[in-house]
Amino acid sequence: MKLMLVRHGQTNGSDRYYGRTDNDLNTVGREQAEGLRRRLAGEKISAIYTSTLKRAITTAETIAAGLGLEITRCSELDEVDFGNLEGMTYEEICRQYPTVAASWTDWSAQLEFPGGESASLFGQRVVRFLERLKSHNDDETILVVGHGGPLRLLLCRLLGLGIKHCNQFTFGLASISVVNRYSQGAILSQLSDVCHLGQGNPQRG
């Protein structure tokens, strides 16, 4: 099975951490989504799964329009709930929540975002998405549109890596990553490809 992991396009406030805040793509983000649509138009994709948040849905719907497919919304793919940290910059988090920032760097099992989600529950939620893939054949190509956090967790699980390694991968905005999944395991063949974009690619938002 070929899994194509796509991160949503740019939103306003790309220098801040937004999880459950339901902001949509900005003008640049919509242009990035069009770039994805053109890039993926020739792929033989069987199904498109997306987060239930607007920025991912808009990205997925733009791609789907070029393929003639419907999208399936999955709450398992939603970004982590940052709670009190929603909308903050990393510098602000380090100043106001230094203990959380320290646990976040190592993605500690004890990590819990005040007023939001814990790393443990977030990981369990995201991994449940893999159950949906059992309804597909091994020769299919599946497109997954989501956010940096869930995509990193999925990649670690697919590659058999511990959750502590999730911060060692980066998914640029509107990027494409490819994982080929076999009965013996999975192979990462492409990571954070943005060659379809003709501009800089901020990492948050």
Active site residues: 8, 79
C-alpha to C-alpha distance for 127 and 135, rounded to whole angstroms:
16
Residue 36 parent element (H or E): helix 27-40
Q: Name the 3-class secondary structure at 129.
A: helix
**How far, in Å, CA of 204 to CA of 190, rounded?**
20
66 by Cβ neighbours in 10 Å (0-12 / 13-18 / 19+) ranks as middle
